Every structure is written in structure tokens, then in C-alpha cells.
Amino acid sequence: PGQFGVAELRDGQVVRLIEKPETPPSNLALVGVYMFDSAIFEAVKAIRPSARGELEITDAIQWLIDHGRVVRPHVIEGWWKDTGRLEDILEANRIILDTVMPRTDGLVEQSEVLGKVVVEAGARIAHSTVRGPAIIGRGAVIENAYIGPFTSIGDGVVVRGSEVEHSILLEGASVSDVGGRIESSLIGRNVSIYRTAAKPRSFNFMLGDRSEVGLIG
């Protein structure tokens, strides 16, 4: 676990946190899920920025420990996947989708639904192919489209005239008439991707901070 923060426990309490140690004192990696009371605000005010110029949550927790506060761990026995990068998020999505049981609570019209596919209530699939494992969220609309394996379609997502595979589309996203298959992608909430008939042919983007777009020429 040396590539993560590591916790050292004693008598059922956390006694030390070490960020990315060369020689880990335990095999307990920090998974980044915390529950605090109001004491954390005092700790954050007291610590100083780290070498990378940020206030580190591990420093705040260590401050609590050093000042007599009790910090208790919850040890996760099952699998855990770090999701700090796009490929890690997609891999976690793949692992979870591999466990779904097929279920159709929505409407499927003149479409082919193959394999382990969950179609949530209020979703509508028309003139399309959905190949699992995949999940189609509540109120989603899939029309004249192809949804390939390991794809999670969020609530209220619309996919028309497009192909999507091995991707995650979050709530409210829209993909329309895209001329090419979208693969290995994460599309955020309420994002719209569509083809226009504008001339001359060009790409137009409105992207948030730290976005990444791959184009095939």
C-alpha cells in the first residue's frame, strides 16, 4: 500500500498516518472516506500547507491524534479500487457491471437487448441495440443507438443516433448524432455532445477545467 496513505493502528484506534511511505508500517491503505465531527475545523485551521502547497486531510487527522482526539478506523475487508484516474474509474465500472443481474423495468420498443442489462423504470429504448453488461438509468432515452458492453447510462441521459461503449454517462448528459463510436469515456452531468451541420466543418468546444478530449483525425 506504499503508493497510498497508510494507517497505523493500536488498541482499535488510529495512532499514525503516513503518506506514501517507502516502508509501510501496516497493510492498511487509506481509501479516502472519512466521517468527522466539528473538531476537524480546528485541525484544518491549525495545520500548514504541505510541500505541494495544499492542506492535506491526513495532516489534519494526524493533528487530531496528536492533540488527544480519538480517531477510530473502519477496516474494509472486501475489494477496493482507487479511482484517481479515468482508466481506474472505467475499470471499477467494469467490475461492478460484471455483477449485475438482468432486469427490465422500463420500455423496450423494436430493440435488441442482449446479455446482462438493467433497464430502470421510466427508461425507454427504441430502435436500438444494447449489449450488456450495461445499465440504463431511470428516465433515460436510447433511440436509434448502440450501447455496448460495460456502459453505465445515468438517469435522464439521452443517446440518439450514436454509439457508446465502455463508458460512463452521468445524469442528464446528451449524445446526439455523433459520427463515430464513443469509447472509454466519462461524460459529466448535463453535458451535451452533438453533431451540427455548420460549414466550414470544425470542432466547437466548451470544456471545464482539467478536461481531456481525444480526437481522431
Residue 162: which residues within 8 A CB-CB, separation 6 or more?
A: 145, 146, 175, 176, 177, 178, 182
Residue 44 carries which DSSP code?
A: H
Give 111's Cβ-side CA count (13 Å radius): 24
The alpha carbon of residue 134 and the mean position of all alpha carbons in its chain are separated, in whole angstroms, by 15
Q: Closest by alpha carbon to 87, among 9, 184, 155?
A: 184
pLDDT at res. 123:
98
Q: Residue 84: is its pLDDT beyond 70?
A: yes
Average pLDDT, the chain: 91
Residue 123: which residues within 8 A CB-CB, separation 6 or more?
A: 105, 106, 107, 136, 137, 138, 139, 140, 141, 142
* 98 grid coordinates: 460484471
Task: Determine the Cα–Cα distance for residues 22 and 38; give it in Å rounded to an integer.
Answer: 33
pLDDT at res. 72:
95
- Read off the pLDDT of residues 14-54 as tens digits, 9 standing for 90 and up: 999 988 777 888 888 888 889 999 999 999 999 999 888 88
- Read off the pLDDT of residues 126-171 as tens digits, 9 standing for 90 and up: 999 999 999 999 999 999 999 999 999 999 999 999 999 999 999 9
| Residue % of the chain over a pLDDT of 90 | 67
* 187 grid coordinates: 461524460
Which residues does residue 152 pair with via DSSP β-bridges, in sequence order? 135, 168
Higher pLDDT, 72 or 207: 72
pLDDT at res. 97:
98
Q: Closest by alpha carbon to 132, among 159, 146, 151?
A: 151
pTM for this model (two decimals): 0.78
Q: Which of 109-118, 152-161, 191-200 has the lowest mean pLDDT?
A: 191-200
Helices 57-66 and 39-46 meet at what angle, rounded to 10?
A: 110
Q: Which of 46-55, 119-128, 197-206 has the lowest mean pLDDT?
A: 197-206
Where do the domains of the chain lie, and which CATH numbers do they carry? 5-66 (no CATH), 97-194 (2.160.10.10)
pLDDT at res. 1:
57
Residue 157: which residues within 8 A CB-CB, separation 6 or more?
A: 137, 140, 141, 169, 170, 171, 172, 173, 174, 175
pLDDT at res. 217:
60
